């Protein structure tokens, strides 16, 4: 979450004072609560005719959370405007970019304005926090479970990075096996298992009529485990991606952990860099072993379904700093 908040506002979300008793919750708490609500299965999604009744009270509980988040964002906007008036140096973050553009959007009568941007920032927090961290946790678990793959990635990192301790964005392109590992992790353990679309018009797809307004649920997890598409679909085999193969935005729609088309995840470029850089740093700077219990019983790869697919048993591993 702090990666996102630094990128957007140049602050660490968790570094502020805790909210006073009975006071308004902080942005990070509002986002965490909203994430839990968003993950709760909602009968209204399956029976749109009764959606207005909000039977589980989810919409009712979400409203105050979003309102709190937007109030905090208002304060961040206001503070930045004061900083600008006081000629503080620019931070070059998303907040600066929005304030630089705001006047232009107003002049053009654009649909983008302060209110839609606050919605986007809130969406980015909810959609962008657990997705990347869960992917890294699954990757570490898969590598600890497959030591020969772990050794191969570490070998590649040693060849490319040598004694360098800081992994840089430009290094990612030189690490094809690490890229293949990340693809294989996102194929087997896509942090977002399903995504929802609505048909804007009645369309025919492969002989089926999909009426306008239909909610379509895309099961990413099932596409990634389809034996008609993948050889040994349940096997962790990064090598399958070494020939170039599918990419996250390939038209073949085989590997779709970020969705696809016009609504493809807007955080893909950030998630791509974050996951590769953090994983590369963890693997290059440390040696990893499992605690005794997991050594004996194996890593529990059971999935827990929520807004993201997380590990039912959170991964525990022991790190030992490497001498580089
Ligand atoms: C490994 C990490 C991530 C995965 C697997 C992931 C996956 C997804 C998926 C499957 C969707 C739905 C796309 C569709 O409907 O076709 C989505 C949407 C979205 N993601 Fe991500 N995401 C990740 C990271 C991020 C990050 C870091 C951010 C924020 C910077 C982010 C922001 C969003 C937003 C705002 C949407 C909604 C886009 C829209 O509806 O137009 N995601 N993501």
Q: Which residue has the tokens 């898969």?
A: 142
CB-facing half-sphere around the CA of 304: CA atoms within 13 A = 11
Q: For residue range 44-84, what is the model confidence (pLDDT) as tens digits? A: 877 878 888 888 998 899 898 889 889 989 999 999 999 99
pLDDT at 91: 95
> According to the CATH classification, is domain 130-321 in 1.10.3720.10?
no
Pocket test for ligand 1, best of 117, 258, 272 (most atoms within 8 A of CB): 258
pLDDT at 16: 55
pLDDT at 21: 47
Q: Does ligand 1 have an atom closer than 6 angstroms to the CB of 132?
A: yes
| Positions at the binding site for heme | 265
Q: Which residue has the tokens 């070059």?
A: 92
Token output for 4: 């996102």
pLDDT at 24: 52
Token output for 127: 């959609």
pLDDT at 14: 63
The C-alpha atoms of residue 12 and residue 176 are separated, in whole angstroms, by 32
The C-alpha atoms of residue 21 and residue 236 are separated, in whole angstroms, by 48
Pocket test for ligand 1, best of 5, 127, 179, 221 (most atoms within 8 A of CB): 127
Residues 6+ apart with CB under 8 A from 289: 144, 295, 317, 318, 320
What ipTM score was computed for the predicted complex, to two decimals?
0.98
Nearest-5° Cα angle at 262, 42 to 270: 85
CA of residue 324 to ligand 1 center, whole Å: 36
Tell me the domain boundaries of the chain: 2-112, 130-321
Residue with CA closest to ligand 1 atom 26: 128
Continuous segment of H or E residues that includes residue 320: strand 318-321
Q: pLDDT 10s per residue in the chain (324 long)?
A: 888 889 999 988 765 555 544 445 677 888 888 888 887 888 887 787 888 888 899 889 989 888 988 998 999 999 999 999 999 999 999 999 999 999 999 999 999 999 999 999 988 988 898 899 999 999 999 999 999 999 999 999 999 999 998 999 999 999 999 999 999 999 999 999 999 888 999 999 999 999 999 989 899 999 999 999 999 999 999 999 998 767 898 888 899 999 988 889 999 999 999 999 999 999 999 999 999 999 999 999 999 988 899 999 999 999 999 988
pLDDT at 39: 79
Q: For residue range 109-148, what is the model confidence (pLDDT) as tens digits? A: 999 999 999 999 988 988 898 899 999 999 999 999 999 9
Pocket test for ligand 1, best of 7, 135, 267 (most atoms within 8 A of CB): 267
Nearest atom in ligand 1 to 259's CA: 16
pLDDT at 299: 95
Residue 249 three-state SS: coil
């Amino acid at each position: 979450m702090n990666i996102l908040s630094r990128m957007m506002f140049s602050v660490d979300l968790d570094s502020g004072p805790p909210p006073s008793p009975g006071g308004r919750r902080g942005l990070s708490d509002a986002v965490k609560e909203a994430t839990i609500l968003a993950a709760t299965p909602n009968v209204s999604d399956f029976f749109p005719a009764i959606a207005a009744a909000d039977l589980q009270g989810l919409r009712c509980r979400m409203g105050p959370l979003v309102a709190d988040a937007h109030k905090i964002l208002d304060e961040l906007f206001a503070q930045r405007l004061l900083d600008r008036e006081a000629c503080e140096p620019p931070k070059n973050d998303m907040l600066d970019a929005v304030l630089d553009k705001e006047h232009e959007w107003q002049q053009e009568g654009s649909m983008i304005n302060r209110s839609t941007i606050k919605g986007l920032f809130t969406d980015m927090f909810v959609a962008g926090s657990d997705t990347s961290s869960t992917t890294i946790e699954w990757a570490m678990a898969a590598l600890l479970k497959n030591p020969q793959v772990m050794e191969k990635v570490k070998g590649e990192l040693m060849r490319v990075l040598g004694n360098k301790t800081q992994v840089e964005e430009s290094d990612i392109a030189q690490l094809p096996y690490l890229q293949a590992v990340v693809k294989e992790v996102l194929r087997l353990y896509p942090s977002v298992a399903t995504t929802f679309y609505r048909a804007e018009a009645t369309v025919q797809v492969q002989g089926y009529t999909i009426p306008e307004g239909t909610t379509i649920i895309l099961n990413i997890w099932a596409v990634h485990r389809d034996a008609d598409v993948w050889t040994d679909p349940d096997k962790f085999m990064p090598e399958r991606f070494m020939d170039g193969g599918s990419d996250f935005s390939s038209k073949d729609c085989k590997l779709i952990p970020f969705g696809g088309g016009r609504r493809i995840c807007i955080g893909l470029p950030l998630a791509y860099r974050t996951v590769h850089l953090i994983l590369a740093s963890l693997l290059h700077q440390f040696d990893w072993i499992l605690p005794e219990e997991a050594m004996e019983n194996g890593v529990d790869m059971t999935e827990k379904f929520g807004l993201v697919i997380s590990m039912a048993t959170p991964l525990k591993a022991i790190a030992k700093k490497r001498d580089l």
